[in-house]
Amino acid sequence: MRIEGARALIAGGASGLGAATTRRLHAAGAHVTIADLSDERGEALARELGDGRARFAACDVTDAGAVEAAVAAAAEGGELRISVSCAGIGWAEKTAGKRGAHALEPFQTVVAVNLVGTFNVLRLAATAMQGNEPDEGGERGVCINTSSIAYADGQIGQIAYAASKGGVASMTLPAARDLASARIRVMAIAPGLFDTPLLAALPEPAREALGASVPHPARLGLPEEYARLVRSIVENPMLNGETIRLDGALRMAPQ
């Protein structure tokens, strides 16, 4: 699928992996809609990109109305062709331990944002894409979701996060099959240890130790590397129904 001139929605597009994706797609000529909870970061990024091809839409991915509005904004003046879901949160707690059972509310919240929120964006973006005219390759759109290597390598205390990201990976193939007749592709990326705002809060020695645990390259992944894979997926029509690990051959230890 051609990126130049296409309309793209990036959920969680104001920071981290999402912001890098926003910049990469914009640089390739897309009209980008940054859907994010943070008005300050989203509006700042839209101003930074300038030139009328970037806009911000305040959006909570768990809110159907907000996502519908963001999808409509992204499709304004054209057809929404690209949807990327990067919005997500984490939580660390054991299933049961000295303090008792894992609290139910944070588990539900993580699943609501990471899994249900991703599905919310996917279902509404795909619905909008169904009305597109097929492009020269016969495609109407592509939806890319963010899983994590935790879906397969969940560590101690990651049960909520791993469950939510496992759901994202597991729904990729059935979603691709559901949407195949509409000529809409669905893919997921499962990043490993990336230099995002979450890891930026750690002390530098801890960040270095995490980077050293990656076989090759022995460092934290860069958000721009995630964004480069997004572009490759968009442009390669045979990539469909798959979750791609982006982790430098890392396999996470139990803790």
Q: List the chain domain ranges.
A: 7-246
> Using alpha carbons only, what angle is made at residue 58 by residues 52 and 60, rounded to the nearest 5 degrees?
140
Report the DSSP pairing between strands 96-97 and 100-101: antiparallel
User: Residue 252's pLDDT is what?
Assistant: 93
User: Residue 236's pLDDT is what?
Assistant: 98
Burial 237-255 (b: 16+ CB within 10 A, else e): eebbbbbbbbbbebebeee
User: Residue 202's pLDDT is what?
Assistant: 81
Mean pLDDT for 20-27 is: 98
Half-sphere exposure of 46 (CA within 13 A, CB side): 22
Catalytic residues: 161
Q: What is the pLDDT of residues 88-140, one digit of tens each?
A: 999 999 999 999 999 999 999 999 999 999 999 999 999 999 999 999 999 99
Mean pLDDT for 14-26 is: 98
Q: Report cis status (omega within 30 of 0) of the bond before 205.
A: no
Q: What is the pLDDT of residues 127-165, one digit of tens each?
A: 999 999 999 999 999 999 999 999 999 999 999 999 999
Of 26 and 255, which is predicted with more confidence?
26
Q: How far apart are CA 200 and CA 213, in angstroms?
A: 17
Q: What is the pLDDT of residues 200-221, one digit of tens each?
A: 878 889 889 999 999 999 999 9
Angle of the 117-129 helix axis to the 64-75 helix axis, nearest 10: 40
Architecture of the domain defined by 7-246: 3-Layer(aba) Sandwich (3.40)
Q: pTM of whole model > 0.85?
A: yes
- Report the mean per-residue pLDDT for the chain: 97
